[in-house]
Amino acid sequence: MIKPILKFLPFLIVLALLPLMLPAGRLGAYYLTLLILTASYAVAALGLTVLLGYSGQISLAQAAFFGIGAYTFAILGVHDGVPFWLAAIAAVAVAAVFGLVLGMISLRLASHYLALVTIGFQIITQLVLANWHALTGGPDGISNIPRPSLFGFALQTDEQFYWVSLAVLALAAYVVYRLRNSRLGGALLALREDEIAAAAYGISVFRTKVMAFSIAAALGGLGGVLYASGSLYISPDVFSFYQSVSFFAMVLVGGRESIVGTILGSGLVTFLPEVLRFLQSYTVAVYGLLIVVVVLFLPNGLYGALADGVGFLRSRRTAGAAPAEQLAATIATTAPRPVATSETLLEIKDLTKRFGGVTAVNGLNLTVCKGDVAVLIGPNGSGKTTVLNVLSGIYAANGGGIVFRGGTITNASPNQVHAAGISRTFQNIRLFPELTALENVVVGYFSKGTVGLAGTLLSVPRGYREEREAVAKARETLGALGFSRFDVRAKHLPYGQQRIVEIARAIVAGPTLLLLDEPAAGMNHEETAALSSILYRIHELGLTMLLIEHDMSFVASVATRAYVMDFGQKISEGSVQSVLADPAVIKAYLGDDVEYA
Amino acid sequence: MAEIIQLAITGVALGSIYALIAFGFGLIYTSVNVVNFAQGDFAMIGAYFMVSLELGARLPWWLALILAVLLAGACGALFQLLIYQPMRRRPRNFLPVMIATVGASVFIEQIFLVIYGPVPFQLPSIFKAQTIRLGGVSVYPQYLVIIGATAAMMALLRWFIEGTKLGKQLQATAQDADAARLMGIRVARMAALTFAISTALAGLAGLLIAPLYTVTSTMGTSIALKAFAAAIIGGFGSMTGAILGGISIGLIETFGATYISGTYRDAFPFLFLIIFLIIKPVGLFGEKVSQKV
Amino acid sequence: MMSNMLELAAIRSGYGAVVALHEISLEVRQGETVVLLGVNGAGKSTTLKTISGLLHPTRGTITFQGERIDRLAPETIVRRGIAHVPEGRRVFPGLTVRENLLMGTSNRRVTRAETERDIARVLEIFPDLERLYGQMGWSLSGGQQQMLAIGRGLMARPVLLMLDEPSLGLAPVIVKQVFRTIEMINRQGVTVLLVEQNVNLGLKVAHRAYLLENGRIIRAATTDALAADQEFRRSLLGASGHGAD
């Protein structure tokens, strides 16, 4: 808890001193109200940082949650005389519940549907606020909204209220910061980057998204409370679709992944009309243009562009110092390789998978014993990758069964397959490109964690312990594979190293069976040789493996048993040497010696 | 009974407007995988062009109509050049393009507000008569104009897409852009054409509905949102779906506003959509959402 | 001596960070059939994609009929006379057989009569397609799709036809038919560049072959020479490849 506070302290001090720097008189007072406004907007925008920036979900209803928070607070505080802080907490809770419900009914939808449902919710909310006279006062709104007091000390002036807002903003920022750096934050980012890969490492797509949605709604509601209390008066027109677009703009302009960026973006968007006043009626147009320009040219926002620039300079400076890494050259492979047992680990019986009229896998039978490095080979289009995808729960089988360690896992979800102890890598490497190598591997450890949202936000010690453990485990696993460029983003790693990171991510949680889909594809000789020794090493650690591979010399060097597929069926099995000598296999690879002319 | 028929005609007319825009949404979505949130603004653009050409330049209504629709389409082609083309090759561009269209929408509305001013314009109906009587039911003739023009436009489009080589090239590009390029189909032009057709449809919708309301810079927003709901209900990319979706939204809005609550008129389509999506999350005609591994 | 129709000089190409071709140089002469051989992932398909413009080389030059084409878009390259029948057939699933064939003429201006004549010519080569004329692309079997894809390539009236694994997933009887067709097309004067996993067929139909491994050409020879070389066949399975060196 100390580190983030120290990190953001200078920024906070500057913000806290802002009111003292304002000009005197009416202009200063006006600027102060804008600052209060900015703080309330920034809290709501931080909610979008979580939803849009971290989990990658689009919502155009943030102003609705802002409004729900503001109105709940105002109705409780003004009409029912509920004390300030109690009304505020209730307002946040009500907004969160709305967010939870909206999330649950809409998150199964693809993103464009989701966007529309949120717009629908936004429009309905605004209509209700404007027309339910008895509760909301209709278009007249609600006035005389109270300001808080603390320990009997009334905080009534704008200046005092600004500091209250700042404290709330700091709290919101801490919540978002804590979330980002927790196990759940890793899950959110993983979802944004690649849902299929995230699910393959035990992250529940639905639950994680709903969580992001309710956090966003709760922060929207909290911002609404600040807004209502700061303005002392609310009316429905503030909580419009346009305000939702504005929140969007704040997050995008600042940098959708950055807390500081979002706060700066909120300030910028709020103060922009003042700066652009000379443009008069073009102000809003420039606003729209700004969104377009930022999206087109600065995908990470202003703050992101700044950070990228600094990072680029820094990496330029250190690039010369770090020599190109020799992959895994130092891995010792002197220990004897474990011998395959006769104990059945995985049994595939009569597996069939059809896509439309095409039968990709046609009654496949296959047994992998504990301790095997089994390899599935066969010509292009023979159904190997489909087998792996059915095995890991991505596709449902049309027939047959899969038994793993005595339990049936036929058509289990990717989550369940992962929980059973099967982990995998993907043919076209599915790392989370914007996450660092280390973060990628930490996500692989997700299923080992136990601390939920409440524990994370309350900063329970166990959460920190688990996070440290995950990081230590990730470092250890990467280290064991001879990899040390922990803090490089996955998308910046060379191809061969991406493979290593993906393998580390797959084994960090200690699975029983590892599925590898063409691990050597696209690698050069040196990388392939390094990969062989890495697989030796993993084998020594006691993992059973099933891999698909085309590079026969690589196969010959690692596999203990080979299965050959053609046209969705197994045509041969045995040692690598024996299957490669099998006439049926040679025919499958080289083709019939047909006369056609 | 007469009232119900009257309302039904109103609902179908309104639904035709939604159908025109909904089909445009679907065209763009299926060909370039973009959701264009500025679609409604082209309805507004069509209406304003009609104002300038018919009331300003005093052109005959039919010429003004054709020119306004063509100009709206030209604006759409320009729009895709500035918004979509720069991001065409960026990986995972779905969300950024969608957000850029939201920004562009704000920009376009404001520019037209500045050009035409805040005072709403009134477009005359093509037929001067206030109402005509059809077997005991009195009908506002503009409704019939809307229904007729929509039917004609849809028939024309169906012929273009199904019956011409260019239409087939458009379909081929939507189905497999790389294969289309290997055939020699200029996919950038196809994208421009797709946007031009969709925005021309929206322009037509805007100038058809304008006599019923007033022409303002924000007139397209709520129409487009309901059209989007129609597109989701009908399924993206299918003409029949767009028409069915549009008409059901139009009927729900009209009957809901009359028999349940006029104040919540705009809420009914969205309530219907949300309920619809809970029951059937993939749209009426289903859409493949599976991701390729 | 035949002149070089297509020439690749020190081409490097790939997908994003992945370099799939390192310094590939090869040439195809007017009137030849050339086959690219090698295991999966050796870079055969990448070579075709780089020639047809779907990928742009990061280094090297590609010259076709004396003009550089390595910076051109696929839409333009097919207008110069190179038709690429891609891996996986890629017929348009929502268009009928006839419409798919029609799309093949998108590289030039054609009259209706000319189109009909070209379609008739394709149907003569693949009579099966006539029966399927009004069916949608997605409803065809793999073999039918392959015939359609080749037919669609021919509709472009190419001078160089590039085929990526035309035998993939086809029944042996259809494979024979396809290869007879390739030979016939070649005799009619169309130069052919072929990627083929069925080595025996590839060696039979082609005049010359290039063997690719790990994005490099490791051998170039006439098909007669390769057919006689038993060690070569073994090496194609890869078991005696770089693992032994």
User: Which residue in B175, B178, B186 is closest to C54 by CB distance?
Assistant: B178
Residue in chain B lying closest to C54 (CA):
B178
Cross-chain Cβ contact A596/C197 below 8 Å: no
The one-character DSSP state at A276 is G
Closest residue of chain A to C37, computed from CA coordinates:
A590
Domains of chain A (ranges; CATH) run 2-239 (no CATH), 330-421+511-597 (3.40.50.300), 431-508 (no CATH)
How many other CB atoms are found less than 10 A from the CB of residue B87? Answer: 16
Nearest by CB: B274 against A115, A120, A385? A120
Our CA dihedral for A36, A40, A43, A46, rounded to 10 degrees, sits at -100
pLDDT at A566: 86
Distance CA A560, CA A374 (A): 6
Smallest CA-to-CA distance from C103 within B187, B159, B197, B28 is with: B187
Q: CA–CA separation, C31 vs C186, rounded Å? A: 7
Asked if A210 and A100 touch (Cβ cutoff 8 Å), the reply is yes
Q: Which residue has the higher pLDDT, A116 or B261?
A: B261
Bridge partners of residue A348, in order along the sequence:
A366, A402
Beta strands C82-85 and C160-164 are parallel
Picking from C41, C167, C244, the nearest residue to A550 by CB comes out as C41
Question: Closest chain C residue to B181 measured between Cα atoms?
Answer: C75
Q: Which of C39, C141, C198 sits opposite A550 (nearest CB)?
A: C39
Q: Which among C83, C95, C156 has the least Cβ separation from residue B172?
A: C95
Nearest-angstrom CA–CA distance, C29 and A354: 43
Which chain A residues have a beta carbon less than 8 Å from that of C18?
495, 522
B166 shares contact with chain C (CB less than 8 Å):
no
For residue B233, give the chain A residue with the closest CA. Answer: A113
Cβ separation A120–B110 shorter than 8 A: no
pTM of the model: 0.80
> Residues in chain A with pLDDT < 50?
318-333, 597
d(CA C38, CA A380): 12
The alpha carbon of residue A356 is apart from the nearest alpha carbon of chain B, in Å, by 13
Task: Name the phi and psi angles at C4, rounded to 5.
Answer: -75, 125
Which has more confidence, A591 or C243?
A: A591
A233: three-class secondary structure by DSSP: strand
Residue A22 is predicted with a pLDDT of 79
Task: Encode pLDDT of B92-102 as tens digits.
Answer: 777 778 878 88
Of B95, B103, B221, the CB nearest to A111: B95
Is the pLDDT score of B280 beyond 80?
no
In angstroms, the separation between the Cα of residue A18 and the nearest Cα of chain B is 31
Query: For residues A363 and A565, is the Cβ–Cβ distance under 8 A?
Result: no
Distance of CA A213 to the CA centre of its chain: 13
Interface test with C, best of B90, B165, B182, B287 (most C CBs within 10 A): B182
Helical H runs in chain B? 2-32, 39-50, 61-79, 94-116, 141-163, 165-175, 177-183, 187-209, 219-234, 239-259, 267-279
Considering only CB atoms, which chain C residues are within 8 Å of B187?
A: 75
Q: What is the pLDDT of residues C44-81, one digit of tens each?
A: 999 999 999 999 999 999 999 999 999 999 999 999 99
Within 10 A of B149 (CB to CB), how many other CB atoms are there? 18
- Residues A339 and A526: beta-carbon distance below 8 Å: no
Kindly list the structural domains of chain B, giving each domain's residue range(s) and its CATH number in brackets, ordered by start.
2-279 (1.10.3470)
* Structural domains in chain C, sorted by start: 4-237 (3.40.50.300)
Q: What is the pLDDT of residues B113-149, one digit of tens each?
A: 999 998 999 888 877 777 888 777 888 889 999 999 9
- Cβ–Cβ below 8 Å for C18 and A593: no
Round the average pLDDT of chain C to a whole number and report it: 87
Report the pLDDT value the prediction gives residue A327, as an integer from 0 to 100: 43
**Residues with Cβ within 8 Å of residue C142, at least 6 apart in sequence:** A358, C89, C168, C169, C170
Contacts of C39 in chain A (CB under 8 A): 550-552
- For residues B55 and C243, which has the higher predicted lDDT (pLDDT)? B55
pLDDT at A3: 65
**Residue recorded with tokens 């209700």:** A128
Q: Which site among B41, B107, B218, B263 would you substitute to test the A interface, given the most A Cβ atoms closer than 10 Å to its Cβ?
A: B107
Q: What is the rounded radius of gyration, in angstroms, for the C-alpha atoms of chain B? A: 19
Main-chain phi, psi angles of A477, to 5 degrees? -65, -45
Q: Tell me whether A120 touches chain B (CB under 8 Å).
A: yes
Reported as a pLDDT band with limits 50, 70 and 90, residue C243 is very low
- Which of C13, C15, C18 is best to mutate for the A interface (most A CBs within 10 A)? C18
Backbone angles phi, psi at B103, to 5 degrees: -65, -45
pLDDT at A316: 55
- If one compares C205 and C17, the residue with the highest pLDDT of the two is C205
Over the stretch B134-187, which tens digit does the pLDDT of each residue have? 777 888 889 999 999 999 999 999 999 999 999 999 999 999 999 999 999 999
Torsion of CA C62, C66, C67, C73, to 10 degrees: -60
Q: Which C residues, 121 through 140, put their C-beta within 8 Å of a C-beta on chain A?
A: 138-139
| Interface TM-score (ipTM) > 0.95 | no
CA–CA–CA angle C157, C162, C164 (5° rounding): 135
In the Cβ-directed half-sphere of A163, how many Cα atoms lie within 13 Å?
Answer: 13
**Smallest CA–CA distance from C140 into chain A, residue:** A357
Pair C122, C184: CB distance under 8 Å: no
Beta strand A561-566 pairing with A373-377:
parallel
Instruction: Give the CA radius of gyration of chain C.
Output: 18
Distance between B136 CA and the closest CA of chain A, angstroms: 36
**Among candidates C179, C239, C242 on the partner chain, residue whose Cβ is nearest the Cβ of A580:** C239
Distance CA A385, CA C40 (A): 14
| Strands of A373-377's sheet in order across | A422-424, A513-517, A544-548, A373-377, A561-566, A569-574
Residue B65, CA distances (Å) to A559, B148, B149, B214, B248 in order: 72, 14, 11, 17, 27
Distance CA A482, CA A333 (A): 12
**Is some CB atom of chain C closer than 8 A to the CB atom of B172?**
yes
The closest alpha carbon to B281, from A203, A198, A114, belongs to: A114
Tell me the pLDDT tens digit for each residue of B200-257: 999 999 999 999 889 999 899 889 888 988 988 887 778 898 999 999 999 999 999 9
State the DSSP string of A160-214. HHHHHHHHHHHHHHHHHHHHHTSHHHHHHHHHHH-HHHHHHTT--HHHHHHHHHH
Span C228-238, average pLDDT = 72
